[in-house]
Amino acid sequence: MITAGIDVGSITAKAAVLDAANIVGTKIISTGYDAKKAGRSVLDQLLETLDMAAQDIQALVATGYGRNTVDFADKTITEITCHGAGAHFLNPDIRFIIDVGGQDSKVIRINEAGKVMDFAMNDKCAAGTGRFLEVMARALEADLDQFGDIFLKAENPAKISSVCTVFAESEVISLIAKGESRENIIAGIHESVAARISALAKRVGVAEPVMMTGGVAKNIGAVKALEDKLETSIRVSEFAQVNGAIGAALLAERLNR
């Protein structure tokens, strides 16, 4: 059975196509200002790459903050459930997921079947999200893609005490004016993000093994800072950013049972 999942996030839209629980292909594009258009476009582009047609898809589930704009989906399911299903599929041993997206971060505890047992979400503030890191990168005139590697070069991480993005940016500007090294400031930014997310994780109760998903999982600095805060290793799949879409495609397969 060929199924598809679409995850429309605040910054990127992701799609995944599965055939009998095998990943056929995935695609990531920018969401832009039109979430509805992005949801359609990301699937169309993926199908074109795979040389498939829309009618080849037998069931489709949409997830993410923009899931309700995907009006051609058979069903919409929350990203919490989809991330749980996706992580369990990628690694059945996983019991805890840290998902850091563009506008929110969430932590999810799952059981041996991939069912969500508890979760917590930070969706009211940009601190501890990909957007926070983007704002800091602009303030430092640094390439966000290099943040992780720069983090590893720091000798003495700067202290970023504000949990608010606006105030934290002011702190960063002050540190720059004082001559603090870019490496130390970036390390401090990552530790600030890790402190925010680890507090969320501890509220739910961390269960090992831990997996990190979302676009920020590609940032080795964010992963390392979280490992230090939680005192555990964190696994990152090559499909980390499309985990939600994969979970949605898996759940789509159950619609016809």
For residue 29, the model assigns a pLDDT of 97
DSSP string, 193-214: HHHHHHHHHHHH---SSEEEES
Based on the fold, state whether residues 174 and 143 are members of the same structural domain: yes
Is this model's pTM higher than 0.85 or not?
Answer: yes
Based on the fold, state whether residues 229 and 113 are members of the same structural domain: yes
**What average pLDDT does the chain have?**
90
Based on the fold, state whether residues 162 and 180 are members of the same structural domain: yes
pLDDT above 70 (res 163): no
For residue 133, the model assigns a pLDDT of 83
Q: Where are the alpha helices (DSSP H) in the chain?
A: 35-50, 79-90, 130-140, 147-151, 165-177, 182-204, 220-230, 243-253
Which residue is associated with the tokens 């009211």?
124
Q: Residue 124: which pLDDT band, with cuts at 50, 70 and 90?
A: low
Residue type for 242, please?
V
**Distance between CA atoms of 53 and 26, rounded to whole angstroms?**
15
Based on the fold, state whether residues 122 and 203 are members of the same structural domain: yes
- Measuring CA to CA, how many Å separate 252 from each of 56, 73, 105, 231, 247? 14, 10, 24, 36, 9
For residue 82, the model assigns a pLDDT of 97
Total domain count, the chain: 2
pLDDT above 70 (res 257): no
Q: How many CA atoms lie within 13 A of 148 on its CB side?
A: 13
Residue type for 185, please?
I
Based on the fold, state whether residues 182 and 170 are members of the same structural domain: yes
Q: For 36-86, write each residue's pLDDT tens digit.
A: 999 999 999 999 999 999 999 999 999 998 999 999 999 999 999 999 999
In percent, the amount of the chain with pLDDT more than 70 equals: 95
Based on the fold, state whether residues 131 and 230 are members of the same structural domain: yes
DSSP state of 146: G
Say which residues have a Cβ less than 8 Å from residue 40's Cβ, sequence separation at least 6. 70, 72
Q: Residue 127: which pLDDT band, with cuts at 50, 70 and 90?
A: low
Q: For 58-70, write each residue's pLDDT tens digit.
A: 999 999 989 999 9
Instruction: Give mean pLDDT, residues 142-166.
Output: 79
**Distance between CA atoms of 28 and 226, rounded to whole angstroms?**
25
Based on the fold, state whether residues 131 and 208 are members of the same structural domain: yes
Q: Which domain holds residue 15?
A: 1-91+238-257
DSSP state of 131: H
In percent, the amount of the chain with pLDDT more than 90 equals: 61
Alpha-carbon dihedral angle through residues 201, 203, 207, 209, given to the nearest 10 degrees: 0
Based on the fold, state whether residues 101 and 168 are members of the same structural domain: yes
Based on the fold, state whether residues 248 and 154 are members of the same structural domain: no
Say which residues have a Cβ less than 8 Å from residue 179's Cβ, sequence separation at least 6. none
Judge whether 139 and 173 are in contact, CB under 8 Å: yes
Residue type for 145, please?
D
Q: For 95-123, write each residue's pLDDT tens digit.
A: 999 998 877 889 999 999 999 999 998 86
Instruction: Look up residue 56 and give its two tokens.
Output: 């080849």
Based on the fold, state whether residues 105 and 189 are members of the same structural domain: yes
CATH of residue 4: 3.30.420.40
Based on the fold, state whether residues 45 and 105 are members of the same structural domain: no
Based on the fold, state whether residues 13 and 81 are members of the same structural domain: yes
